[in-house]
Structure 1
């Protein structure tokens, strides 16, 4: 017996029902690039160019998972597949030795795969947690229908088309900027990895989770743990030049976080507030980490700091609103 079941969207106003999906569509790139500090506030117009790729992917992952009755394990795995698509196909940063002229693949280089271990671990981790999963958790916490589909067939098709357009546009833009092309073997490897991850997501979604007894820490403690672990992970990856040591420590933090949160989330005392707290801790890591970072696209230090402050404040306001909304749902 499995926990997979198809959920259909309720009969409500299409526009009202789709508002959370629209919010996720823009929240995903906002977290992924602006809250991180990659793009300054002066480049806010880029949000509309990034939304089809990031937001389209996040909405599709969320809708597929909720329509099938899958939980966050499947969403995390599909988020990893998204990261492989973006970095393996659209930007090719997994394989380009001179991507953005940064020589990211030199530390911990794996010659037969043409990748750099620490960069691969880092960039796929960023997409899995922050680009996709965190925005989904936050937006679901703001919704009165967190486990139901937000879109009908037409809406899902629209976001699907937007995602495809985002992938194609980003890929063509990258080709125009850089003459590097991944090898046929690398492209096949990306395709195989995506197929395997999708299969794993399906398998995880069909499993019936084993609920256990026992207490879990308060949401505040869970949030602090999420903040500390994700902050430590980011600080380790700031030292990407250390190669294999950086990759090993990053994976160790990943394993620790997975074991800890899976153990807690299986207990009957785990609630939506705990899930939001864990995601909120990770979101705040991006908020503070943006300040010492320099944006990828040029901006004065003053503009950069102002933007970081604005985005961090918006993140805090969003988390407070999600907490209030989620708390009312848990208490009802």
Structure 2
């Protein structure tokens, strides 16, 4: 008689649990929004954390369970970002979020929002909130990196939890500040989110490899660092933004053009590289590592997005701890792909 050995539940679910924690840690703590060395910062993280964790896990499982790949992952990640910012936090419509005039730079009255902020949030959530944590945990998962981590019942539970938590968070936010946008704005946002989901469902896995070899992982890592730096610096020039430490007289349309050019150039280049022979888990990790370390260094000039004062010492200490943790995690992941 042959017996089938099954891994203990905690071992089997370890990647899923890891993603539940890494997504909010990367999105909020490593970015510098919620200092983990402050009680209020920890409370803020615990409140918003389940949204990121469940969202990232739901997206990852939905993509892997249907046999789709990273193009779909990115489309769903962007849909998540627009959903969160339009309906839950409502930062797309909040002209005075956490006491900062985040929409003054490039505000368009007809839309009720500012394109520089919309594009910044698109990049923040698509890359850092969702894609980076998924890429790193999938690397750590080894052979299970592209297989489902949850059974059908677990996947449904995550979907229900994400939906209910989103509704509760949106209701709580609306009760606190009211509805900041009109029906047409919410309807427009809903159409955008739905269109991105449909797009993701129609996208296929990467095409077969073409001629030429992929660049070395270190070159991909350097590219990710450079592209990440351009992205965060584009927001740092906003004189009325959350962290205008690089404020320069660049008109809002110039910022929008910069974001669009960066997204197009980076997307096309990575797509081209990923279709070449030799593209591997090491290259995907290199992209995620460059993005994660961008958040790490950028957290130091970034100001926490909290309505209560936070001392500079508390803020810098939290950033240093989060950066050290990110470096350790990336070293472990790098050793994983090198074995």
Q: Is the TM value for this pair above 0.5?
A: yes
Equivalent in 16, 23, 30 of residue 25 of structure 2:
30
How much does 1:12 deviate?
4.7
1:306-325 counterparts in 2 under 5 A?
Answer: 306-325=317-336
Report the counterpart of residue 180 of structure 2 in structure 1: 181
Contact 1:26 1:47 in 2 (8 A): no
Mapped to 2, the partners of 1:302 and 1:308 lie a distance apart of 10
1:165-314 correspondence runs (5 A): 165-205=164-204, 209-241=207-239, 242-297=251-306, 298-314=309-325
**2:54 is aligned with 1:56:** yes
Range with bigger deviation, 151-160 or 138-147: 151-160
- Distance in 1, Cα, partners of 2:156 & 2:10: 15
Partner Cα distance (2:45, 2:110) in 1: 36
In structure 2, runs of 5+ residues without a counterpart are: 240-250
Contact 2:206–2:275 at 8 Å: present in 1 too? no
How far the C-alpha of 1:160 sits from its partner, in A, is 1.6
C-alpha separation in 2, matches of 1:208 and 1:50: 33
Structure 2 length normalisation: TM-score?
0.90
**Offset at residue 288 of structure 1 (A):** 0.1
* 1:52–1:162 CA contact under 8 A, matched in 2: no
Q: Distance in 1 between matches of 2:201 and 2:235?
A: 30
Aligned residue pair count: 318
Question: d(CA) in 1 for partners of 2:161 and 2:323?
Answer: 28
CA offset at residue 247 of structure 1? 1.4
- C-alpha distance in 1, partners of 2:48/2:231? 25
CA RMSD across the alignment:
1.6
Q: Is the 8 A contact 1:56 1:159 kept in 2?
A: yes
Cα distance in 1 for partners of 2:106, 2:6 equals: 53
Distance 1:55 1:249, change over 3 A: same
Instruction: Please state how far the C-alpha of 1:48 moved relative to its aligned partner.
Output: 2.9
In the TM superposition, 1:140-155 aligns within 5 A as 140-144=138-142, 145-155=144-154
Shift in alpha-carbon separation, 1:216–1:266, aligned structure 2, 3 A:
same
| 1:72-114 residue CA offsets vs partner (Å, 9 max, x unmatched) | 1110110000001100100111122233332222221222221
**Unmatched 5+ residue regions in structure 1?**
1-9
Secondary structure of the 2:146 match is: coil
CA distance in 2, matches of 1:104, 1:131: 20
Match of 1:40 among 32, 35, 38: 35
Bigger mean CA deviation after superposition, 233-242 or 142-151 = 233-242
Distance 1:37 1:52 in 2: 18
- Residue 93 of structure 1 aligns to a residue in which SS? coil
Residue 280 of structure 1 deviates from its aligned partner by 0.5
How do residues 85-96 of structure 1 correspond to structure 2 at under 5 angstroms?
85-96=83-94
* Aligned counterparts of 2:18 and 2:110: Cα–Cα separation in 1: 42
TM-score by length of 1: 0.91
Q: Which residue of 1 aligns with 2:65?
A: 67
- The residue that corresponds to 1:6 in the other structure is none
Three-state SS of the structure 1 residue aligned to 2:168 is helix
Offset from partner CA, 1:117-150 (integer Å, 9 cap, x none) = 1000001210010000000000001002001000
